[in-house]
A and B are shown apart, each in its own frame.
Chain A
Amino acid sequence: MRLALYVTCLVDLMRPSIGFASLRLLEAAGCEVIVPEGQTCCGQPAWSAGNRSAAIDLARKAIAELEDYDYVVIPSGSCTDQLRNVYPLLFADDPAWGPRARALAERCFELTAFLADVLHFSAPPGEFAGQVTYHDSCKGLRALGIKQQPRQLLLQVRGLSLQEMPDCEECCGFGGAFSVKFGEVSTQIVDRKCASIASVGAAAVVGGDLGCLMNIEGRLRRRGDETTRVLHIAEVLAGGSEN
């Protein structure tokens, strides 16, 4: 089984440790992992902003680079949604690219969904002393139906206990460009998320999408919370060194 790890631009630029954690985790699950060299951006920002032609160009590029692997695994619900659900839409009427987009889409998985649903993996090497709470990112939850997989995996981590926060399915207010365009509104929304997190008093808030995590971490710190850790689920499950 040849598996491609698609790292996402946010992880590449803002938090490489998530990429390495994903790599270690997939290797611990027995996969041969390749990081395709030419990978860049999946085109989700362009698509969301309404630039269809740029989204199509980047989708073609990604399809050509990724279609030869047995699986493509992505540590992000949002980018996975783009490859799984949007690519087939972009080429719905394209006789050449349509079948390729659909074939790729079927083999693209968000990290926790791949570990739990495809590999039935249940022995994450990570350790975590204390309580964590899980934030359901919108795209993972509502576009991909990811709910149980991360929880099931977290509960296998030695020392870890899971405490659900109120409204764990509520949006954190990130929304990519939304948080840049409507900073104040976004802050208002993430404040409610921060209050939910604070109400459970967990040592860490864990999620599957770096965008949400940056938004939550940024607001927690600005509110003066220096102690609650904000971790990607790959970082918790993989354990081990940072890189």
Chain B
Amino acid sequence: MAGAKHSQAMFFQARAGAKVRDKVLQQALQKAKPLFVGKRAKGIAALAEDGLEFEALRLASEEIRNRVLRDLDVWLDIFEERARASGAEVLWARDGDEICDLVIDVARRHGVTKATKSKSMLSEEAHLNEALAAAGIRPVETDLGEYIVQLAGETPSHIIAPAVHKTIGEVEALFAKEHGRPVEARSSVDIPAMAREARGVLRQHFLSAEMGITGANFLIAESGTAALVTNEGNGRMVTTLPKVHVVITGIEKIVPTLQDFATLMRLLPRSATGQTISNYVSLLTGTKQPGDSDGPEKTVFILVDNGRAALLGSPYQDMLRCIRCGACMNHCPVYFSLGGHAYGWVYPGPMGSVLTPLYTGIENALDLPHASTGCNQCGVVCPVRIPLPELMRRLREEQNERGLRPWSERLALKAWAWVAGRPALYRWVARRAARYLDWLAEGSGRIRIFGLAPAWTAGRDLPVASGRTFHELYAARKRV
């Protein structure tokens, strides 16, 4: 698949160690986690003030998303027809390469030399910025986090907080360098001043870009509308100032009605940032009409498959419900030990551990379905009830069926199950193992270096008992 050539997901395990040892990254992550978790908890608790109940809303949201997926083609047809009727162009892309080709083609048709962007995960899937730059069109990210990441020559490490892996000090130094300002011009880190500085730079881009590129949190079928949920106001600049607006979304992002959108909006910001509603919610329909003071002259929707349609009717269909709130990663102990870059592709955390193998090929992301302790905090917080740990487990099963796991792992599992199926043999093996562990522990009750699980004892001792199994001791006791 198209994503595979850019995916670094195969190197998860190797990268994980480096990320754990990166002190600056750890500092940034440790600061962010309690904020995310605390804000969501408050947001969910505050539902009661509006007479709403989280579980009921989750069920309703799950149902809306399932309804769409049952008849996805029908809802897409309706969306296409209504969007065209309101003056927009609707295009379809099978993969990332087609996204790039379509966007570049639209840009060339309208003489575009610069495009402002408000975050679109699909353009990350397609590596659109690289393609635009190669075609002589300058892409400028305008979400503050995305802007920082773009200046640093990096990719986002979180889907709603793309620069969460950076400390304030790092951003300050980056701005000083990229904005041509000496570091000593500001005596201490001043976040409002930094935001003002970025805003000043971005304002010039908003005014001069001929094209705006965004994603959409949802597409509303009944009205042919794109819904954008943002906090910074840049989304409005990008969608109204340039003469051309291109919306790039996955085909699964559709919802039937405005009413459905309203239901999902009760959970999306609360799950993401704990907000009752985000600072800006834009519903964008069609193009600038006579008498309108602003808006694009040309609106283009690019609806993208890139692996999504293949999940319909598969054991992984539940994943298409995802509304990209980021709650799963915000509550994931593994994500917050590594940051998003370790996951090697657009989507990090539990969602990425499922999406990346599915979209880039299971054989290209072998570690990711295993990058979970199975704690299920992700499943508990997911606003559309995606059983993320079960989907990861199902992916492991598929890896086994396709012979993609190392032979030593498969053999060990088979041997364990074979022994466990034979109680007498199992008892004998367990007794030998208990003796062996006790011998390794040299009577100290713990093993400091255990050759069979070196990664385990690299960080901790292995506590062991006295060399006798429970069943052995129990049988002896009964005989007395």
Contacts and interface: CB of A to CB of B under 8 A. Distances in A.
Interface of A: 7, 9, 11-17, 19-20, 35, 37-41, 43, 45-52, 54-55, 57-58, 61, 138-139, 142-143, 170-171, 173-190, 192, 214-215, 217-219, 221-222, 230, 243
Nearest to B464: A14
Contacts of B16: 182, 184-185
A11 B473 CA distance: 12
B20 to A, nearest CB: 5
B463 to A, nearest CB: 5
Interface string B391-422: 00111111110000100011001101101110
28 contacts: A7-B470, A15-B465, A19-B470, A19-B474, A43-B420, A49-B400, A50-B393, A50-B397, A51-B397, A58-B417, A139-B374, A143-B376, A171-B377, A173-B333, A177-B370, A178-B374, A182-B455, A183-B458, A184-B16, A185-B16, A186-B459, A188-B20, A188-B26, A189-B333, A217-B461, A218-B457, A218-B460, A230-B463
Interface string B344-376: 000000000000000000000001001111111
Contact of A222 (B17, B460, B465, B477): B460
Contacts of A177: 370
Contacts of A187: 20, 458-460
A219 B446 CA distance: 11
Contacts of B21: 184
Contact of A219 (B26, B377, B460): B460
Contacts of A14: 437, 463-465
Interface string B431-446: 0011001000000001
A16 B370 CA distance: 30
Contacts of A49: 396, 400, 409, 413
A180 B455 contact: yes
Contacts of A61: 420-421
Output the residue of B379, B460, B474 with the most chain A CB within 10 A: B460
B393 A47 contact: yes
B459 A183 contact: yes
Nearest to B459: A187
A12 B430 contact: yes
B446 A50 contact: no
Nearest to B376: A142
Contacts of A214: 462-463
Nearest to A49: B413
Interface residues of B, number: 66
B433 to A, nearest CB: 6
Contact of B375 (A11, A48, A171, A215): A171
Contact of B374 (A12, A37, A51, A176): A176
A97 to B, nearest CB: 16
A50 B396 contact: yes
B284 interface: no
Contacts of B333: 170-171, 173, 189, 192
A91 to B, nearest CB: 16
B434 A142 contact: no
A189 B373 contact: yes
B413 A39 contact: no
B474 A35 contact: yes
A50 B399 contact: yes
Contacts of A181: 13, 367, 370, 455
Contacts of B380: 142
A12 B398 contact: no
A116 B338 CA distance: 39
Interface in B327-353: 333-334, 337-338
Contacts of A180: 453, 455-456
Contact of A16 (B371, B394, B469): B469
Contacts of B370: 177-178, 181-182
A43 B417 contact: yes
A125 to B, nearest CB: 19
Contacts of B20: 184-185, 187-188
Contacts of B463: 14-15, 214, 217-218, 221, 230
A19 to B, nearest CB: 4
Contacts of A192: 333
